[in-house]
Structures are given as C-alpha cells and as structure tokens.
Structure 1
Amino acid sequence: MLENKDKFIATWSFLTTFPAPKTAQETSPQLSMMPLVGLGLGLTFYIAAWLLSGFNPAVTGLLLLILWLGSTGFLHLDGLADLSDALGASHGDRTRFLEVLKAPDIGSFAVIALILAILSKLVFLSVLGFAEVFAPLLLIPAWARLGAAWWVNELPPLHEGLATWLLDAGEANLTPWLITLLILSLLFAPILLLAPVILWAWKLFLEHKVQGMNGDCLGAGIEICEILLLALCCLTL
C-alpha cells in the first residue's frame, strides 16, 4: 500500500504542478497511476467549478481554463505546439518532420494550434458553466491520461530521449481502469462512454501519420482528447 502511495505521489508530481509530499528518490512515475492522477485533477476541476458556479458562466469558464492549463504547467500545450509545427512544416518529409519536432523554437502552425486549443477549451467550459453541468469534469482528465498510458503500450518511440520510466514500464495493466471509467461514466456522464473511440482514433492517427510516439505526441494527445471530450459533452446539452 505504501509503495503504491509513493508511486502515485511520484506520478502526480511529474504530471502536475500541485505540491506533493516527497517520496524515496528511487520511486518513479507509473503508467498505471496516470488515470488516478487524472481523477485527482478532475475532482479538483469539479470542486472549483462548483465553487465558481455563482459567477457569470463566461468568467467561470475562464477561471477553470486557467486552472486546467496551469495545473500541468502548460506541458501538454507545449507538446501540441511542437507536433503541430512538425506536421505542418514537414509536408510529408519524414526526416524534416523529426527535425522540426526536435527544434526548440515554434512557428506559425504551433501558434495557430495553441490559439485554437485554448479558445476551444474556453468555449466548451463556458458552455458547461451556462448549463451548470460539471460532472464530466470529473472524468475527462482521467480518460485522456488513460489514453496516454495506452498509447505508450501500443506504439514504438520515435527517438531516444523519451522518459525512462515510460520506456521501461512494460505493458501496464490498464483494463481495470478502463472498466472503472466506463462504470463512472455510465453513472455520471453517459456520453463519455464514447471516450474509448476518441482514444482509439488518436492512436490510429499516431500509428499512420506519425508512425510512433514521443512526449510531444502524448501531450498533444491529452490536449486533443480533452477538447474532443468536452465538445462531445457540450453537444448533448
């Protein structure tokens, strides 16, 4: 039990900007803990939305957006920016794609992707605020991080340099998490029963368009899946 607690804390510290107790130095983040981190984030967002529900929904949406993006230190947006630049600038050239993906600067494709991602989340969070429907916030971060753990298991790394704990993780048993999130979705947000379809679609995109994955692909996938799941929930209001 104590070992699992340390693994969760290590994963939480790695994936979020929230403070956490210290763990033993040899404790590494774990793929199997990523959905649990997502549930922790989702609970944070849900409580924040409930506390802000008395404000103008647009203000609530903006404050939730700031909390959502800041909770990960904008890490996933960085991955989205890098992947967008690489896809946009490579024009199908595999060598060029990998070169741009590694480049430290960003270009116009990254800027456009960031603007669209931020505006999309702002709009969808505001729509949920207008409808006072916050239950999906509990589960969307967990679904996206379950996807990230699954993509690591299914796809080869694009290059060396991926976090050691991801490469050495082996095949994490994610089936219990899939069942858990399906049950919770059925209870609190039935539309999220379609989440596995979105996770599968991103896997196919990485498999055929990118031919692998790295940290940027994982971060971009979390952002894209969160946005699509938010949109899915808004469509049913």
Structure 2
Amino acid sequence: MIEPFLVAVQFLTRLPVSLSVLPEAKAIGYSLAFYPLIGLLIGSLLGGFGWLLCDAPPMVAAALLLAGWVLLTGGLHLDGLADSADAWIGGLGNTEKTLAIMKDPNCGPAGVTVITLGLLLKFTALHSLFINQEWIPLLYATLLARTLIPLLFLTTPYVRSHGLGTPLAAQQPRHLNILIVTATPSLMLWITGFDYFWLVMTAILVFILLRAMMMQRIQGTTGDTAGALIEVTETGVLLAAVV
C-alpha cells in the first residue's frame, strides 16, 4: 500500500515525492483511501507553521499561513473551484455547455471572483484562529474536506470517460472507502472531543448541497467539482469554527 499512499501525496500536495515508474490504474484508485490521511498531514503541517509564527502580528501570520497553504497544495483545488464557478455561471443550466466550459484552461471573471472571495474568507478565519491559537479546526477542515472525496466517488457517477478521476472511480476500494469515510470523523471526535461535532455536521451539509448541485446540473462529478468540494468544505468548516 506504499505506492497508493505516495500517489496520494504526489497528487494532493507539492511535497517532494517521486515515483520510479508511472503508477498503475489500481494504485491510483487505491490512493483515494489515503486522502483523509493526506488531509491530516496538510493540517498538521499548517498547524505547526502557525505555531512557529506565534510571535508574528496576527494579520501577517494569517497571510503567511494562507500562502503556505496554497503553496503546499499547489493551488490544485482552487483551479477546480474556479473552473466550476465559470462553468456553472456560463453553462446557463445546460449540461454539455457546463462540461465544455469546465475543460477550458482559461479562467473567467466568475472563477477569479470566487477564488478571491474564497481566499479572503480563509484569511479572515485563519486570522481569528491565530489570535486564539486554536488549531484543531484547521485539522478538521483539511481532513474532513479530503474525507468527502472518497464519499463523493462512492455515491456519485464520474461523468468523464478520460478524466483525471477516471481511475479513481473505476479502481477505488469501495469497502475500504466506506470504512474510512465512516471511521475518520468518529475517530477525530473521539480524540478531540465532541465539542467539534458541529464541524463534522457543517462538512456533511456542504457535501449534501454541492452534490445536489452536481447531480442537478451534470448528473455526476468531475475532477474540477471534486476540487471545488474540497475548497468549499475547508472554508465552510473554518468559518463555522470562528462564527
């Protein structure tokens, strides 16, 4: 299971991981089971970075932490969020047009606006968390967002025949993913205490809402909409923690 783990690290982060050979479809599919662990890794690294910045002015620390977050993930999910926003607005309710716009590498005004708003909301939430030196919600945000991706692929058709998510959908370990999706939030709550139960509920509500939007518009999911789900979940959980 080392190769699927490395595939997940390589895809979801910009950590220096190299594979000697191109991974097989099965390894890519099984990497989905490690997404929550990668989310925990990302949150732990960001929390450690925030701790190192404890003596910095709060606004500077929040800005540096947000920059580190984007660099660590390579802006991968922001790209998905922007493409989804452009497609949903420009698609005008049409499935084929929505999918076509989503494949366009150019970023339109809707995408730019949504990325700006998303980063602004994350910045303000991180500022509040830094003032209170409260890092557990950050762990929840990164972990829950990536726990929802196995759930998304378990419950939602993948609509592209040759997309990045094709091997994930086709080769995913369904029974293992079901176990991981159900056990991860329970384990986190057991470790940190049930005071954070409402963060889990926030993530579930975001998932229900965005999945319903995906099914209504494109009758499934794509890699871009999965990335958008991660970004919106992270932001929603952080805002729920500070509001």
1:225 is aligned to 233
Give the corresponding residue for 2:15. Answer: 18
Instruction: Output the CA distance in 1 between the equivalents of 2:242 and 2:120.
Output: 15
CA-atom RMSD, angstroms?
2.0
Report the CA distance shift for 1:188/1:13 in structure 2 as closer, same or farther (over 3 A): farther
Q: Offset at 1:147?
A: 0.6
Q: How much has 1:20 moved relative to structure 2?
A: 2.6
The worse-fitting range, judged by mean Cα deviation, of 206-215 and 38-47 is 206-215
Give the residue type in structure 2 aligned to 1:101.
M
Q: Quick one: which amino acid aligns to residue 143 of structure 1?
A: L
Going from structure 1 to structure 2, the CA distance change for 1:187 and 1:20 (only over 3 Å counts) comes to farther
Aligned to 1:169: 171
Whole-Å Cα distance in 1 between the matches of residues 209 and 97 of structure 2?
25
Once residues 67 and 113 of structure 1 are traced to their aligned partners in structure 2, the CA distance between those partners, rounded to angstroms, is 20
Cα gap change, 1:169 to 1:181, in 2 (>3 Å)? farther
Aligned equivalents of 2:160 and 2:58: distance in 1?
43
C-alpha displacement of 1:16: 0.5
Residue in 2 aligned with 1:193?
200
TM-score calculated relative to the size of structure 1: 0.89
Q: Distance in 1 between matches of 2:19 and 2:98?
A: 39
Amino acid at match of 1:218: A
Task: Describe how 1:67-216 pairs up with structure 2 within 5 A.
Answer: 67-163=68-164, 164-170=166-172, 171=174, 172-173=177-178, 174=180, 175-186=182-193, 189-194=196-201, 195-216=203-224
- Give the direction of change, closer, same or farther, for the CA distance of 1:193–1:155 in structure 2 (3 Å limit): closer
CA contact (8 A) 2:199 2:241 kept: yes
Matches within 5 A, 1:37-56: 37-56=38-57
CA deviation after TM superposition for structure 1 residue 7, in Å: 2.1
Q: How many residues align?
A: 232
Q: CA deviation at 1:107?
A: 1.1
> Is the alpha carbon distance of 1:177 and 1:190 closer, same or farther for their aligned partners in structure 2, counting shifts above 3 Å?
closer
- The residue matched to 2:193 in structure 1 has which SS? helix
Measured in 1, the distance between the counterparts of 2:206 and 2:96 equals 28
Q: Deviations over 1:64-110 (max 9, x none)?
A: 10111111111100001100001111221222212211112121111
Gaps of 5+ in 2: none
Give the structure-2-normalised TM-score: 0.87
Contact (CA 8 Å) 1:185, 1:191: kept in 2 or not? no
Structure with greater proportional helix content? 2
Measured against aligned partners, the alpha-carbon deviations of 1:111-140 in whole angstroms (never above 9, x if no partner) come to 111111111111111111122211211221
- Per the TM alignment, residue 185 of structure 1 is displaced from its structure 2 partner at its CA by 4.8
